[in-house]
Amino acid sequence: MFIEGISKESNAQVRAECAFGLGQIGAQTFRSLLLALRDSMQIVKDAASNAIVRNMSLDDITTAFEDNDH
């Protein structure tokens, strides 16, 4: 629901809260948060950025995506 909310919700505050929620889930949501960094509203960009910085390390992200072809 957070991924759908961050990408389809019209209310920027709700999108920002979805970014916070995605950060709580963990590194597997990293790509969705990267897309949120391109949002038109600064509040959403800030929330996505904070979710990444506060909840994910480079090791977490690497581990989450090491088996995927990118």
Based on the structure, what is the number of domains in the chain? 1
Cβ count near 9 (within 10 Å): 15
- Is residue 19 scored above 70 in pLDDT? yes
In a domain, 70, yes or no: no
- The predicted pLDDT at position 64 comes to 81
- The predicted pLDDT at position 62 comes to 86
Return all residues near 46 (Cβ < 8 A) that are at least 6 apart: 16
pTM of the model: 0.84
Domain residue limits at 10: 2-65
- The predicted pLDDT at position 5 comes to 95
Q: How far is CA 19 from CA 45, 49, 68, 70, in A?
A: 9, 9, 23, 23
| Cα(18)–Cα(61) distance, integer angstroms | 19
At 7, which CATH number?
A: 1.25.10
- The predicted pLDDT at position 41 comes to 97
pLDDT in tens, 28-66: 899 999 999 999 999 999 999 999 999 998 898 888 888
